[in-house]
Amino acid sequence: MATKKIAATKSKAKAKTGPSLPKRSSKPWGQDGKALDGVRILDFTHVQSGPTCTQLLAWFGADVIKVERPGTGDITRGQLQDVPHVDSLYFTMLNHNKRSITLDSKSTEGKKVLERLVKSCDVLVENFAPGALDRMGLTWDQIHLWNPRMIVASVKGFGPGPYEDCKVYENVAQCAGGSASTTGFRDGPPLVTGAQIGDSGTGLHLALGIVCALFQRNRTGRGQRVLAAMQDGVLNLCRVKLRDQQRLAHGPLREYSQFGENIPFGDATPRAGNDSGGGQPGWILKCKGWETDPNAYIYFITQAPVWEKICDLIGKPEWKTDPDYAKPGARLPRLKHIFDTIEAWTMTMTKFEVMTACNAVDIPVGPILSMKELAEEQSLRETGTIVEVDHPTRGKYLSVGNPIKLSDSITEVTRSPLLGEHTDEILGDVLGFTDEEIAEIKASGAIGETQKLAAE
């Protein structure tokens, strides 16, 4: 009996402490490898949604092997070229830190290489049209016959349902996911946003799914499928508009300027211009120089806790006690007049001067920053949010860096690969083909011609 009690006590203690953890590293912070060291990704992605995902994983240390079609590669290598015969910025800015192998997966030798790639990798990522992976012979059953631990991650336009076989691109996803219907001014057409919430947004969602699947695999020992549909990803980013759709059933959306102007609401969440989506009235206001500078504007929020500070700052101290302005509810029908009054004040200063004055008293504002201003912002260079990359044929260019910062996993942004640049080392070092086997693969035409560095 005593032995059973001791065993039960030990079992409970083990349950409380959880699984055993590795010994804590004694190396300095940031010098014990990267978060995804040891993870190998088989990258069958192209254009933007998939490459966004795999680039993020590569930034965190995963070995990403990008498989490309011999002779052409990822279609974005040649799209929107600003320098003739050089990989476009569209490609280079989405494929940092990766290795490239060219492969004709339909050929006999190519299929042999493909099988070994599947057996050698942890995750396969693809954003082909629906059914394309199966037509390549890479069905779920076949992949897991070769590698039961393989995680298969896919970007698709729509999830299961009547539209799952439809192709989807960025703006299509924004429209199908609810973004366009709620973007723009109420007297104008639906608008898509400049942020790539369909492509890059879905790529970010997929990366999270992959990391979760890798974490679960540590417990189960098996891979699984990960799906990120573009419609789903856009809708997730538009959740506050779905919130407002349900609120409409209980009355008008009082924080929308439409309410203050006595314009009736319909039965769907309306376009709201520059109204704030968080319940605090906000608007974009002109600043000094707006006549010639299209970005001389600032976003100004009339947040209730700092209303009295706003009144003092814009020279309207009487509004603090005036019953028509003192309370948030009383201000709603007068928002246009309030913002017109604030704008008369912001137009006397530059957007940065307005920001300085407002931040001094904790009033939240946001200057409208152009891409030129962001590219020249030194603080973004210092944090690695914007990086300068040197490319062997393009030269130096700017790109976004890793937007997610880990204190013990330092990100380094390295250039994108030339087409097929790493074919030989992947065949030999990663897949273990002998020199004779590599020669046979080359002779078969399965890898086509590969690009070499100019220095070679």
Is the distance from CB of 335 to CB of 279 less than 8 angstroms? no
Is the distance from CB of 409 to CB of 30 less than 8 angstroms? yes
* Alpha-carbon gap, residue 253 to 408, rounded angstroms: 45
Torsion of CA 147, 148, 154, 160, to 10 degrees: 140
Catalytic residue among 87, 104, 122, 199: 199
Is the distance from CB of 65 to CB of 121 less than 8 angstroms? yes
* Alpha-carbon gap, residue 443 to 439, rounded angstroms: 6
* Count of beta carbons in the 10 Å neighbourhood of residue 147: 20
* Alpha-carbon gap, residue 189 to 131, rounded angstroms: 35
DSSP state of 426: I
Helix axes 199-220, 230-237, angle to 10 degrees: 100
* Alpha-carbon gap, residue 127 to 43, rounded angstroms: 10
Nearest to 373 by CA among 426, 294, 436: 294
Is the distance from CB of 320 to CB of 308 less than 8 angstroms? yes
Nearest to 402 by CA among 233, 204, 126, 124: 204
Token code pair at residue 40: 């190998």
- Would residue 37 show up in a list of annotated catalytic residues for this protein? no
Is the distance from CB of 105 to CB of 70 less than 8 angstroms? no
Q: Can you tell me which residue has the tokens 């995963």?
A: 62
* Alpha-carbon gap, residue 36 to 220, rounded angstroms: 19
Q: H or E element: which one contains 395?
A: strand 395-400
Is the distance from CB of 84 to CB of 46 less than 8 angstroms? no
Give the CA distances from residue 379 to residues 56, 373, 384, 391, in Å, rounded to whole numbers and listed in that order: 21, 11, 9, 23
* Count of beta carbons in the 10 Å neighbourhood of residue 57: 27
Catalytic residues: 199
